[in-house]
Amino acid sequence: MSQNNNVQDKGDDDNVSDLEKKTLDENLDMDQCLEYVNPKGKYQLILFSILLLQGIVGSFVFVGGPYFFQDPIFICQDGSTCSQEDACKQGNYSISDSSNHTLTLQFDLYCDRQYLKNLSLSFIFIGSLCGTFFFSFLSDLKGRKLPMIISWAFSVLGIGILAFSQNYAMIFVGQFLGGFGIYPTSTLAFIVMSEQSTGNFRKVATGYLLLGYTLSEGSINLLGFLFNNDWKILIRYWLFIPSIILWFPLFYLIESPRFYLNKDKEKVLDCLNKIGARNTKKSYQAAPLQLTKEQINFHKYSLIKKKEVYSYLTLFKYKSTRWITIACSIQKFLMIFVNYGTQFSLSDFGFNIYINATIGFLAEMVCFGFLVKVLNTFKRKPSALFFQILSSIFCLLFIAFPIPDSCKNSSCYQKYVQILLFLLSKMSINSYFVVISTYFPELYPTSVRSLGVGFIRATGISGSILSSFAISWSKELGISPLVSFGIIGSFGIIFGFYLPETQNQPLQDEIIEIKHQKNSLLEVDAYQAVSKISDTYNNQLSNQSDD
């Protein structure tokens, strides 16, 4: 089937594919409809590029914490540099003139005001939590395109407030609004890409969308090094202005045809034909081989109540979605906690923040280059479990290689071992997220996919709210933060064993229980219709006999 996807691109009306011949006599399901209009054509490539660029810029807010809020260099009583903990305990300290111009330095977010820094880092995730719940619900009411446009507008507003902050209250507001808009946009990006493509292209494209996060890590690290972590330059010129520019391409998006199933047949047809038109060189009006309503199997997607509105309670109402939601949410919560914890700990192990971040960036790039290409050859469930177990092991091994005090400002083998463990843990964590970027959306039917993925991402991002505080608590206990993340992250492994496998399985479009209920009612309706016809026929025979 896929080898004939480019029939329209060739513009050869004489070469009709098997799929096109099939549509003359048989109805198509939604995946076949997408194959008909080309699920990996020019439109999907442009769509992927837009979403990837947004992922890169948007992730700046999330991965930029260690750079925007880098601690200043403390000079203790003896004139030597020391950690913030030691300096604050002594009380008599000074700040080095060579400290980078960060938000922490400008607004004194250290020592007895350290909690304000932790709150600042947490507010972006609190905003993400609120935004994900709101826009996931909105996307199931109004579609995917409009919520993406609105959510990105919120992110631009938040970044603008953050870029021109005059006090820590403005930082809180900017971080909250930035998270409120950016995270839902990234959630919807995966859904849109998944619903407007099929087969291996869908798996590869959704996997590579995570590349935006990795490229963002590498970019912010380079920019931070070049501009000495000057928060005004980084946020105003490399985050705020690009975010404004990237708002306009969202109007290019076509609404997902899957959204209109059970709602409006004409709009399903219109969306599919628009995709087909953009994937061919001919104009929309002259586009050949357009789909018609008669070719689409709408009967397969009909609901008992076509205007029924689903909510988050729906995810827990039915057995088929209840356990999936609980297990995936707990797993995502713990792995997000580990991921952002390691990101915020970049200056607490190994050498320095720039070297550590570069190692992490290279590890993730290698991971993407390998895993996304071979993702479809491995089963989803064992792959996710394997990488989750590895990430916990590598984090826990930090306990065996603490950096001695004599090595704080010099090189020692413990630093090299920690860098290696960090590299391996980042590869494992990133591999896990690549797998679930395809795996988790496939677990839900279309009717609640946005709600399900949104709920998982919302509960997941709440784990990052605690990660900055966990770093402070770990330091007070005298252990490496990564050891704490390894211990906590390991608790999520058990929940992965009870999830179903989805590899090479077609996407479901309705909750199983509702689908069975609908089929039962259809059978009753069919029986009643046959009975009515039979009664009518018998009455006619009876009347003829009387005559």
Q: Read off the pLDDT of residues 109-133 as tens digits, 9 standing for 90 and up.
A: 988 898 898 889 889 889 988 898 8
State the DSSP code for 74. E
The pLDDT of residue 376 is 65
Indicate if 277 and 408 belong to the same structural domain.
Answer: no
Indicate if 172 and 260 belong to the same structural domain.
Answer: yes
Residue 8 to residue 413: CA distance in whole angstroms: 60
Indicate if 106 and 249 belong to the same structural domain.
Answer: yes
Q: Read off the pLDDT of residues 161-192 as tens digits, 9 standing for 90 and up.
A: 999 999 999 999 999 999 999 988 988 888 88
Residue 253 lies in a domain: yes
Residue 414 lies in a domain: yes
Residue 298 to residue 266: CA distance in whole angstroms: 11
Q: Number of structural domains, the chain?
A: 3
Number of other residues whose CB lies within 10 A of the CB of residue 433: 20
Residue 230 lies in a domain: yes
Residue 8 lies in a domain: no
Indicate if 250 and 335 belong to the same structural domain.
Answer: no
Residue 30 to residue 34: CA distance in whole angstroms: 6
Confidence of residue 286 (pLDDT cuts 50, 70, 90): very low
Residue 128 lies in a domain: yes
Indicate if 64 and 125 belong to the same structural domain.
Answer: yes
Q: Read off the pLDDT of residues 426-472 as tens digits, 9 standing for 90 and up.
A: 888 888 888 887 788 888 887 788 788 878 877 887 777 778 788 87
Q: How many CA atoms lie within 13 A of 340 on its CB side?
A: 28
pLDDT at 230 over 70: yes
Domain termination residue (choose one: 309, 329, 350): 309
Q: How many CA atoms lie within 13 A of 154 on its CB side?
A: 25
Indicate if 251 and 192 belong to the same structural domain.
Answer: yes
Residue 287 lies in a domain: no
Residue 130 lies in a domain: yes
The secondary structure of 105-130 as a DSSP string is HHTT-SGGGHHHHHHHHHHHHHHHHH
Indicate if 123 and 142 belong to the same structural domain.
Answer: yes
pTM of the full structure: 0.71
Is residue 438 within 8 Å of 205, Cβ to Cβ?
no
Question: Helices 353-374 and 199-209, interaxial angle, to 10°?
Answer: 170
Indicate if 277 and 341 belong to the same structural domain.
Answer: no
Indicate if 40 and 82 belong to the same structural domain.
Answer: yes
The pLDDT of residue 523 is 53
Indicate if 362 and 254 belong to the same structural domain.
Answer: no
Indicate if 110 and 76 belong to the same structural domain.
Answer: yes
Q: How many CA atoms lie within 13 A of 235 on its CB side?
A: 29
Residue 298 lies in a domain: no
Q: Read off the pLDDT of residues 19-74 as tens digits, 9 standing for 90 and up.
A: 444 443 345 567 777 777 776 788 889 999 999 999 899 888 888 888 899 888 88
* CATH code of the domain in which 360 resides: 1.20.1250.20
Confidence of residue 99 (pLDDT cuts 50, 70, 90): confident
> b or e along 45-57 (b: 16 or more beta carbons within 10 Å of the residue's beta carbon)?
eebbebbbbbbbb
pLDDT at 1 over 70: no
**Structural domain harbouring 527:** 518-547
Q: Between the ranges 79-88, 143-152, 291-300, where is the mean pLDDT highest?
A: 143-152
Cα–Cα distances in angstroms (integers) from residue 267 to residues 254, 261, 263, 300, in the given order: 11, 9, 9, 17
Q: Between the ranges 229-238, 338-347, 378-387, where is the mean pLDDT highest?
A: 229-238
Indicate if 218 and 246 belong to the same structural domain.
Answer: yes
Question: CA dihedral defined by 178, 428, 341, 168, rounded to 10 degrees?
Answer: -20
